Amino acid sequence: MAETYYFIKDLINDVQRGRIRIPSFQRGFVWKSERVSLFIDSIYKGFPFGSVLIWRTRNCLRTERNLGPYKLPENDLEYPIDYVLDGQQRITSIFGIFQNYLTAGDSENTDWTNLFFELNSEESVPFQYLEDSTNYDATKFFPLKYVFDSPNYRKATRNLDENLAQQIDELVDRFTKARIPVERFESEEPKYVATVFERINRQGVELDTLQLLSVWNWSEDFDLQEKFREVAEELEPFGFKEVGSDLLLKCCSAVVMNSVNPEGFMELPGSAVRDKFEEIRRGISLSIDFLKTELNVFSLKLLPMENILAVLTSFFASSQKQPPPVSQEKNEVIKKWFWRACFSQRYARGGAKSTDIDLAEVQNFKAGKPHTLGDFDVSLNTGFFLNSSFRMSSVATGTFILLLAQGKPLNFIQGTNVSLQKVLSLGNRNEFHHIFPKDYLEGLNKYKDNQINCLANFSLLSRTDNNKIKNQPPSKYRLLMPTDTKTFDEIIATHFCPANAFEDDDYESFLTLRSELLLQKAKELSQIV
């Protein structure tokens, strides 16, 4: 990877010639004017501001993005193209502030481009925007768009005294000599470029392999991003509007390659996905139907691990428009795999290797061949429920919530069914409540946060019931629950909850007994003897 630099004038020239371009997988220009002025001030003062990452190639991408508000001219085919992978905001800011060549679109906001240098400024940042950028005092302000515009630069300084003219000369000299650090690599290999993107992603820059794929080699009549948008729109009415392009890409890769490795996917011709896309679409749709009807997963927020959807898509994908229903026997095998994968957190932290193993076993299972799907070790004990805190983002919490849903819980006080679809579609922490109220336990000054907020102390209740319970101990709000023993026992059984919790308010005993009941259910679901 070559490392060099740009002078601002050279950077502007390359943009004007169409040699520097913005791939469509980059987001648009989002910097606000204040951030632009601080960035320009950093260049002026010689502060470090990071390098720009450029990918040089002779292969034009099928779709590109404008540089902020500016439509870029076509590049001379004799020259390679420099695509900006990281640093688009900086390049757009520099170009917009200093150039006088390209005009912005009519609907674009270009107020941020009219930045002025304040002469004799006492401010820490001598750059500012004026309310009226066309009428200003030339003895107080100098427009930066004249820095590299010699005729206007000379005209602006012609009638100034020596001190003011010298300030502007020094300003121009600083920007003329300023260097924009550049890292440039050259490659025509999709796999190599994908690896670079992945490394940038780890640094927090939002780049998307799917978007690269979409512009690299798909046909004019098949836009992968558009197809993914269609799938997302189809899923939205069913509570799965959150499905993102990264996950859909994994589902595609799972069906086409039997793998969720994006680097290998990069090497496929576009036709490989085009030819199988309807099969992929059916696989995703049937997977979500299975998650909802068999496992009460009404939202992706509560799917413990994303790769589960990729494996399910591989199983349900079919070339038939009306595939035959899956037998109950096969359903049970898939559910066993699901619960074991969740309780073992098999695909946590990526889990590409484990996912690919299961994808291979899914195909064996699907074809009626010997398989080991779900036959991996799962170490389950009460610690899963006692040592894991309730956090919506954790695999353990997502798995625990789905376990609770298997009990078809009844509201403590009303005795009515908890609306699982309503509660689980929201995927909001406010829908899940402490059995021993948090305020009550904190008032005892005996328990730490991790003990109070452990999974074993949570259940699914309506907000109405929870508001009635408030901060009362179980023995107190037991008086609000049905009085006959049979109904009471039926209610708490749906929560895998021991009766002693509502008698003596012994929190430690409650945790021990409830975690054992939860473990019993977890082993039943995972088919662990």
Cα 505 from Cα 499, distance rounded (Å): 11
DSSP one-letter string for 77-100 = TTS-EEEEEE-HHHHHHHHHHH--
CB 500 within 8 A of CB 317: no
pLDDT in tens, 13-51: 999 988 998 876 666 788 989 999 999 999 999 998 888
- 292-310: average pLDDT: 89
Answer whether 289's CB lies under 8 Å from 325's CB.
no
Choice between 62 and 401, residue whose per-residue pLDDT is larger: 401
**pLDDT for residue 222 is more than 70:** no
Statement: residue 206 has pLDDT above 50: no
* Confidence check: pLDDT of 251 > 90: no
Task: Say which DSSP state 44 is in.
Answer: H
Whose CA is closest to 26, among 104, 112, 84? 84
Cβ neighbours around 364 below 10 Å, total: 13
The residue that leads in pLDDT, 351 or 11, is 11
- Between CA 342 and CA 348 the distance in angstroms is 9
435, 501 Cβ separation under 8 angstroms = yes
Query: Across the chain, what does the average pLDDT equal?
Result: 85
The pLDDT tens digits of the residues spanning 366-395 come to 999 999 999 998 999 999 999 999 998 899
Please check whether residue 239 is in contact with residue 222, taking contact to mean a CB–CB distance below 8 angstroms. Answer: no
- Rg of the chain over CA atoms, in angstroms? 31
DSSP-assigned letter for residue 183: E
3-state secondary structure 234-297: HHHHHCCCCCCHHHHHHHHHHHHHCCCCHHHHHCCCHHHHHCCHHHHHHHHHHHHHHHHHHHCC
The predicted-structure confidence for 313-364, as pLDDT tens digits, reads as follows 999 999 998 888 999 999 999 999 999 999 999 998 767 899 999 999 999 9
Residue 254 has phi, psi (to 5 degrees) of -60, -40
